[in-house]
Structure 1
Amino acid sequence: MASNKRVGNSDFYRMQQNLARQAQRDQRAAERAAAAAEREEKAKYFASRRDEAERRTADIAQLVAMLDGLLVEGIRRPAKIDLGRWKRAVSRRVFEAGDLGTSAQRPEWRQFEPAAPGMVSTLFGGKERYQAALSKARRRFGDATANWERQELDRQQRLAQARAAFDIRVAEERAECMEHNRRIDAEIASLNERRRPNVERYCEQVLARLLLPPQFPRRAEVAYNPDAEQLVVQLQLPGTDIVPTAKSFRYVQSGQNRDTIVETKRPDAEVKKLYRDVIAQVTLLALRDLFDADRRLQKVAFNGHVDSINPATGRQEYPCLISLDVTRTTFERLILDRVSPADCLRYLNARVSEHPYALKPIEPILIFDMSRFAFIEGLDAVSSLDHRPDLMDMGYGEFEHLVRQVFEAMGMQGWTTTSSKDDGVDAVVKNPDPFVGGVTIIQAKHYKNVVGVNHIRELAGAMEEKKAGRGILVTTSWFTAGGREKAYEHGRMQLVDGQNLIFLIKKYIGKDVVIGVRRPRNAASIDQPDLPEG
């Protein structure tokens, strides 16, 4: 018995040892599998990072190739817009009655008529029962017929209403379609007649459709001179951020668990050259599309600007980087898919910023803002002050010229608009400084009575229409409190009342003048205006 017990214990111990060894083998196998899985995950991660670096490098190369080929790609398609394609065809709709188009089945007597009694039934009171059933059937038949007639009348009424509503919708759609087509025809006719607003609108649409990447700006403004068949264009060019500063990317693994993607910078000279070529291509493409889209256009003056923030002032600016004036004859000599864009601009005698990547501005060949106004030669109104110092003795036009001369004496470039085409603008002045300059429109009110809020709104509307940076309202009288508050809320408007006008004339022209206007005692004056000086 003792021997058997020892044998049993020995077997149990061996079994325990085998189980322990198996557990160790299983643990080592699991650790090896986990390590292999970790190595595989790391390998996948490293491969994905290498692929990411290669993909980013390929994306940069693709972007640069796209930027290099803007002009060649853009001229492959015609730029002319067929306005006739915007017409709508009158739809031929058919009225669908649906369930209302089907009438319910009219009740029939045979559905209600009782069966006639037989001979035997007649002998046992069947005749009386038949007469009673017949009377009941007739009542039911009458009720069913009346109900059907009511339902049918209601159906026919609703059907008529639906048909009438359908006819009204069709008529309205037809009228809307015909009115839309009439407007298109009128637009085409006015374009053929070379009416200024229509030509400008058409050319703005052409520029909005330039074949450029979606991240490029589409802001464009045009002014058309029908006498010379000339277009003046102000186009927003892409900013410097359109050019990638990175040239390539490479994956670097340092150590067991450290890695990074290193960017290789594009040389500064290459970045600047690429940006210069991009804006040159956009310029040439815009000119090509305008001449191609409007065959009667003979000349285009182009100013290319870019939105920027002056790092010194933090103010938003719109410097001009490219400006040129080119005729159709000269431009059509070019073979655009073979030219070097920058060299081509030099051939066209364009003014190009020496350092466009630094957004160094140039003075445009033709000021865009001025092309929107009709101007006349300035009259010397100051000389008349020697013998007629009361401004109220002046004529209205003479007063406008005096206001212009005041601003010219302050160093501004001044023009006076024609009275028939001024659109609420009496004079235009321009600060020639390319950074902080811009166009200011002026309204001159040769008034004896107070100037109120409506005049402030009128100036604001003229500023919006003419896209002027500032507006000045000059009067021989005074302003209401509401008018002064409205101008302050606008933020880009200055008011000059009679007392301040006298001060400005004395300061800048050296003339002592008076204004024969009876000013109420409670009429508040305004502070000395913060006017732009050249």
Structure 2
Amino acid sequence: MAKRSPSAAEYHRRQQAQAKEAARQQRAAENAAKATQRAERENYLASRGREADNKTHEVQQRVLSLQSLLEVGLRRSARVDLVSLKKAPENPPFAPGAVGVPAQRPSWEMFAPSRPGMIKSVLEGRTRQEQRELAAKRQYEAAQRSWEQSEHVRLEQLAALRREHLGLLATKQQAADAHNRTIDELASGVRSRRKDAVEKYLQTVLRRMPLPAAFTRRSEVIYSPHAEQVVVKLQLPSRDVVPVVKGYSYIQSKDEIRPAPRPAKEVAELYRATIAQVALLVTRDLFDADQMLREVGFNGHVDTVDPATGQSVYPCLISLTVDRDRFSSLNLRQVNPEDCLRHLNALVSQHPYELKGITPILDFERSKYAFVEGMDAVAMLDSRPDLMQLSAGEFEHLVRQVFEAMGMQGWTTTPSKDDGVDGVVFNPTPFVGGLTIVQAKRYKDVVGVNHIRELAGAMEEKKAGHGVLVTTSWFTAGGWQKAREHGRIELVDGPRLVHLIKEHLGKDVLIGIKRPKTASTGPS
């Protein structure tokens, strides 16, 4: 029976149904696409919100780390176990690689010809079989010789590698031994209170302070064995360690993460509190790490640029000096760092965030000089009035006492570490005072221009404002001229020194040298 064709009406209904299904599927696809877009939008907005929250959390953690500097530092001992700094030598295993594996030695079985069957043996005969065995034997012997030669070379290479490895182990052992000897010497020097050893040990202590990674760790240490005093010049963290934003929020309408600024007053207060904690923690760590110290001086500086000159400057923001008894009476876990510094009579910049400097309690530059105990050289003059009979050291102390009698503060430096400086005087008078380097020359011959140049070089190195060259003899005309050209060097020859001793110490002295009549006397 033939299949009936659909009527026009049925055909029309089918087309309508197909069109409706296609429209439905399109709407479903569009709705699905819109749902996907909404989900992606919601995920994007959520991710931006989380990004703002994460940035806010990061800022909060930075602030928390600044607020808890002292608290965290007090949780551990600052003492450095020098023995723990010793090193065991690295002993890498001997690994010769392929050279350490011998090749398989040839065996006769690898070359021996197979035995022929009975029929083949009859057909070929004995001679043919012997020829095959002889050829195999030659191949075997050649393989043996080749193996022995290659094995000989391998063993030589292996021995060379072993010697190289033993040499490496010896080198590493020597390096470890040298390092450990240095540690032993350092520990011995700390026990015997040797200046350089104690300074190196305390530098190690400061480097190990638990400070944030963004903090600078530049410091200088001067230790006085006689006074058991240490003076530290430490670089404080810069202002940018304090976040200038309080948090972040996501502005959906503009699709941006906007910072919320931290009030300027809060930023300044947080910076002040931060450097106060650093000062207390440094002081605590030094006392804790070295039980022999009796006094700690701390000067905290910061790197900046003077806006008036554009030059780099290093102003001091905090200066503190305290002895062990007073500091040990503090309960640092309970103090307010800024109040504690006031209690210790520390000097703190009124505006540290603006990097307004102060004059330190202890001048670190003056502390750099290695000073010795003063000697009363004047008392010797009654029985020994000729200055040439004094030793070089006694003469230096006499010169110091002359300056002290003139109202200055004087020190005599250690002979082995004077760096071209015999003494230092400091005039505390404001504006016109300052640090002056003194060189004392108990000479019987003329002092020339080279000595003036040497003093000028020492002044430059020590950043001293003035220099004085005192001698029992006399200066060349060129020396007087060089001092005048420099402008900040004063020369004191024998006759003038005698006059100063008479005027300020009340002693009549003489200088037992033959002074030429033509000797230059300099300015009147």
TM-score (norm 2): 0.69
Q: Which runs of 5+ in 2 are unaligned?
A: 1-6, 377-390, 470-474, 497-515, 517-524
Q: Is the 8 A contact 2:449 2:482 kept in 1?
A: no
Q: Report the Cα offset of residue 309 of structure 1.
A: 1.5
AA partner of residue 373 (structure 1): Y
Q: Report the Cα offset of residue 44 of structure 1.
A: 5.2
Q: Is the 8 A contact 1:252 1:262 kept in 2?
A: no
Q: 1:41 to 1:227 in 2, by over 3 A?
A: same
Q: 2:483 aligns with which of 496, 501, 519?
A: 501
Q: 1:204 to 1:434 in 2, by over 3 A?
A: farther
How many residue pairs get matched? 465
Q: 1:100 to 1:438 in 2, by over 3 A?
A: farther
Rounded to whole Å, the distance in 2 between the matches of 1:52 and 1:358 is 32
Rounded to whole Å, the distance in 1 between the matches of 2:249 and 2:110 is 92
Counting only pairs closer than 5 Å after superposition, residues 467-486 of structure 1 correspond to structure 2 as 468=462
Q: Is the 8 A contact 1:378 1:416 kept in 2?
A: no
- Residues 229-238 or 441-450, more deviating: 441-450
Task: Tell me the equivalent position of 2:382.
Answer: none
Task: Tell me the equivalent position of 1:284.
Answer: 280
Rounded to whole Å, the distance in 1 between the matches of 2:207 and 2:135 is 81
Q: Report the Cα offset of residue 272 of structure 1.
A: 2.9
Task: Tell me the equivalent position of 1:219.
Answer: 218
Rounded to whole Å, the distance in 2 between the matches of 1:14 and 1:104 is 84
- Percent identity, aligned pairs only, is 43
2:174 aligned with 1:175: yes
Task: Tell me the equivalent position of 1:296.
Answer: 292
Task: Tell me the equivalent position of 1:158.
Answer: 157
Q: 1:266 aligns with which of 245, 263, 266?
A: 263
Q: Report the Cα offset of residue 129 of structure 1.
A: 3.9
Task: Tell me the equivalent position of 1:372.
Answer: 368
The DSSP-based 3-state class of the residue aligned with 1:216 is: coil
Task: Tell me the equivalent position of 2:358.
Answer: 362
Q: 1:291 to 1:17 in 2, by over 3 A?
A: same
- Residues 284-293 or 256-265, more deviating: 256-265
Task: Tell me the equivalent position of 2:200.
Answer: 201
Q: Is the 8 A contact 2:86 2:179 kept in 1?
A: yes
Q: Report the Cα offset of residue 302 of structure 1.
A: 0.9
Q: Is the 8 A contact 2:222 2:368 kept in 1?
A: yes
Q: Report the Cα offset of residue 424 of structure 1.
A: 3.9
Q: Is the 8 A contact 1:309 1:315 kept in 2?
A: yes
AA partner of residue 171 (structure 1): A
Q: Is the 8 A contact 1:117 1:126 kept in 2?
A: no
The DSSP-based 3-state class of the residue aligned with 1:420 is: helix
Q: Is the 8 A contact 1:100 1:155 kept in 2?
A: yes
AA partner of residue 502 (structure 1): R
2:83 aligned with 1:84: yes
Q: Report the Cα offset of residue 365 of structure 1.
A: 1.1
Q: Is the 8 A contact 1:74 1:210 kept in 2?
A: yes
Q: Is the 8 A contact 1:443 1:472 kept in 2?
A: no
Q: Is the 8 A contact 2:303 2:314 kept in 1?
A: yes
- Residues 321-330 or 57-66, more deviating: 57-66
Rounded to whole Å, the distance in 1 between the matches of 2:450 and 2:65 is 61
Q: 1:211 to 1:18 in 2, by over 3 A?
A: same
- Residues 59-68 or 413-422, more deviating: 413-422
Q: 1:15 to 1:370 in 2, by over 3 A?
A: same
2:318 aligned with 1:322: yes
Rounded to whole Å, the distance in 2 between the matches of 1:452 and 1:133 is 103
- Residues 147-156 or 325-334, more deviating: 147-156
AA partner of residue 263 (structure 2): R
Q: 1:41 to 1:506 in 2, by over 3 A?
A: closer
Rounded to whole Å, the distance in 1 between the matches of 2:117 and 2:11 is 108
Task: Tell me the equivalent position of 1:532.
Answer: none
Q: 1:357 to 1:111 in 2, by over 3 A?
A: closer
Counting only pairs closer than 5 Å after superposition, residues 115-514 of structure 1 correspond to structure 2 as 126-130=125-129, 132-133=131-132, 135-250=134-249, 261=258, 263-266=260-263, 268=265, 270-375=266-371, 417-425=413-421, 448=448, 463=461, 468=462, 499-503=481-485
Rounded to whole Å, the distance in 2 between the matches of 1:248 and 1:39 is 28
Q: 1:477 to 1:176 in 2, by over 3 A?
A: farther
Q: Is the 8 A contact 2:190 2:198 kept in 1?
A: yes
Q: Is the 8 A contact 1:459 1:471 kept in 2?
A: no
The DSSP-based 3-state class of the residue aligned with 1:184 is: helix
2:63 aligned with 1:67: no
Rounded to whole Å, the distance in 1 between the matches of 2:137 and 2:158 is 31
The DSSP-based 3-state class of the residue aligned with 1:218 is: coil
Rounded to whole Å, the distance in 2 between the matches of 1:262 and 1:95 is 59
Rounded to whole Å, the distance in 1 between the matches of 2:22 and 2:119 is 105
Q: Report the Cα offset of residue 175 of structure 1.
A: 2.4
Q: 1:249 to 1:87 in 2, by over 3 A?
A: closer
RMSD: 5.5
TM-score (norm 1): 0.68
Rounded to whole Å, the distance in 2 between the matches of 1:133 and 1:14 is 93
AA partner of residue 419 (structure 2): D
Rounded to whole Å, the distance in 2 between the matches of 1:134 and 1:35 is 89
